[in-house]
Structure 1
Amino acid sequence: MRRTTTILSMLLACATAQAATTGVALVHGTGSQTDAYNDYWQAAMVEGVRNGLTDRSNLLVVNCDFNQYMWDSRAAGCLAGQLTSFIQNRQIDRLIVITHSNGGNVMRWILSNPTWDARYPAIISRIAKVDALAPSSAGTPLADAVIAGNVFESALGWLLGYKTDAVRQQQVGWMAVYNQQYLLGTSGRPALPVPFRAVVGTDVVSGFWSSQAYCGGYSQSVGLELTQNWLNSCSDGFIECSSASAAGTVWFRDTQQTGGSVLNHNQSRRACFGLESILANDVRG
């Protein structure tokens, strides 16, 4: 009788696991997006990630105004609204969130402040993990430079957003305060309620002779090589490795899974060096 009960329990657990509906949400970084599919991620990246889903319809590309402070209704509020609708409409039981850059901060605000918005707890309960691509978890000196009035190439307008609230928020000192008082997951703070796994870009390749420099756009690689002058040697041209590693855990540093290729900040939102396949395999797992 005991053996029969055990077998039935195992079968029930398997059936429950098989019935779980997995969904993926792609959360962009700094900027106000209305067509993040084409303008931020591009089709090769989105469709590559979609390959990891059993039901290819269970993928959401978020479009919000992340030029705002992370807690703003146009940022975290917009994200919460789109995630809630996606979870309800697609009956998602297991949500994998893939963020890029400042999108990791907006997502971390939701995870860290469940009482801020009545929608947050239901979202958190569905999230299996957050794969944070080049998150600016400890800010970036580039934000400080922008607010101080330094000018960068127009090719990096997508990256910096210039003097927006989101850029102010990502100043190093400001993020230190947020991490100490309002956000979870950094050193000395309570852990986040779900795994927050960072992918860390370690360098920028911009030489015209290198094929690595052309993935995602050559001009962006050149621009990020320029901005790297404001950063530590270990950086992706926008985020220093220490910042990308500051919250949650490090999933991998670029070269560990890309066959030795580095991922600059632009390439970490693109189908470069097999990144889209790495993410798709993680979704399957």
Structure 2
Amino acid sequence: MTIYNKLLLLGLFAVSPLSQGATGIAFIHGTGKQTNALDDYWTSEFVDSVRQGISSPANYSVINCDFDQYMWEEAAAGCLVNQLTTFIDAKGIDSLIMLTHSNGGNIVRWVLSNPTWDSRYPKVIAATSRVIALAPSSAGTPLADAVNQGNSFETSLGWLLGYNSNAVKQQQVSSMSYYNGTWLNGTANRPALSKPFEVVVGSDVDSAVWDSDSYCAGYQYQVALETTQNWLDDCSDGFLECSSQGAAGTVWFTDKQLTQGQEPLSHQQSRRACFNLDSLIRNHI
């Protein structure tokens, strides 16, 4: 073989897909035991739009785990890393973007913060390039406290939180304060997370019956979240106060700064294709 042919062969090998890594995105749901998060949590409209932001849109995974459990449980973090590992191996992913919502951000932070807890964690951490956390419950919510006290919130928030699950207990304000001070990184006075943790904050809820924007992601949910917002700070998405959402990592933006028409994102809307949220994420990645 001539020197020219050898160099040509080496050049072809250097750009061969087999020698290159791949970017992938994983959609990680919040509280709840999911078996079909694509349809029941995110919707295809949102997922199919966001994944166009990576070079190979087929490199995506929608996680389905039991996030009604404490974040360190096998059904939660264990399930998450198992599904991510399968995805990484199947697609040759070496640049993993995790897109999380609500309590999903806590489970991801658990994995990133505790690499020696489980032998499966380091591979996932090494492949991860960044986390985009939509309305993460990083400092918990007073509504979780209310649910565990068995008052009227237990009925009104069943669709969002479930009923007295370990995940709800975990998201009590005092519980998250303890976890943030001991086991979790990324909050004030704690070590930084090993990967970027970029946060989108939802700051308000609109439920005016005459406003078409109130119907995005389901009008009935906006009405419920407008009600629960009365027990939270003025800046909240109906489930989480802004301070909780921004407690870990770095705030990428607060809804009205970038959304179409400067519309707020309720906790329900921050996982749907509302007010160009999907295109903002797509362009960002």
TM-score normalised by structure 2 residue count: 0.92
Q: Distance in 2 between matches of 1:154 and 1:175?
A: 23
Name the residue aligned to 2:244.
243
The Cα of 1:43 is off from its aligned counterpart by: 1.1
Counterpart-to-counterpart distance in 1, 2:16 and 2:95? 12
1:275 counterpart = 2:256: no
- SS state at 2:119 partner: coil
Equivalent in the alignment of 1:150: 151
AA paired with 1:271? Answer: A
Q: Matched residues in 2 for 1:108 and 1:40: separation?
A: 20
Does 2:265 align with 1:266?
Answer: no
Partners in 2 of 1:236 and 1:89 — Cα distance?
37
CA deviation vs aligned residue, 1:18-40 (integer Å, no higher than 9, x gap): 93310000000000000000000
Aligned residues: 271
The one-character-per-residue Cα deviations of 1:128-169 (angstroms, maximum 9, x if unpaired) are 110000000000000000001122386743311120000000
**Shift in Å, 1:229:** 1.2
* Residue in structure 2 matched with residue 8 of structure 1 by the alignment: none
The code of the aligned residue for 1:182 comes to: W
* Counterpart position of 1:92: 93
What are the Cα deviations for residues 109-139 of structure 1, in whole angstroms up to 9, with x where unaligned? 0000000111111111111110000000000
Q: What is the CA–CA distance in structure 2 between the aligned matches of 1:131 and 1:189, rounded to whole Å?
A: 20
2:111 is aligned with 1:110: yes
Partner residue, 2:58: 57
Correspondences of 1:198-209 after superposition (within 5 Å) = 198-209=199-210
Q: What's the TM-score, normalizing by structure 1? A: 0.92
What corresponds to 2:180 in structure 1? 179
Q: 1:153 to 1:163 in 2, by over 3 A?
A: closer
Contact 2:146 2:154 in 1 (8 A): no
Query: How far, CA to CA, are the matches of 2:213 and 2:157 in structure 1?
Result: 19
Q: Determine which structure has more spread, i.e. the larger CA radius of gyration.
A: 2
Q: Distance in 1 between matches of 2:90 and 2:276?
A: 31
Alignment of 1:1-285 (within 5 A): 19-152=20-153, 156-259=157-260, 260-283=262-285
d(CA) in 2 for partners of 1:81 and 1:198? 25
2:93 is paired with a residue whose SS is: coil
Aligned residue for 1:95, secondary structure, equals strand
Report what 1:4 is aligned to: none
Asked if 2 retains the 8 angstrom alpha-carbon contact of 1:153 and 1:223, the reply is no
Report the Cα distance in structure 2 between the residues aligned to 1:145 and 1:153, rounded to whole angstroms.
Answer: 7
* Amino acid aligned to 1:133: L
Distance 1:196 1:107 in 2: 10
2:153 aligned counterpart, secondary structure:
coil
Task: Tell me the alpha carbon deviations over residues 20-69 of structure 1, each in whole angstroms, 9 at most, x when there is no partner.
Answer: 31000000000000000000001111111121122222000000000000
Identity %: 58
In structure 2, how many angstroms separate the alpha carbons of the residues matched to 1:236 and 1:172? 16
**1:85, 1:47 → 2: CA distance?**
21
Structure 1, unaligned stretches of length 5 or more?
1-10
Distance in 1, matches of 2:189 and 2:15, equals 40
CA, structure 1 residues 55+154, in 2 after alignment: closer, same or farther (shift >3 Å)? farther
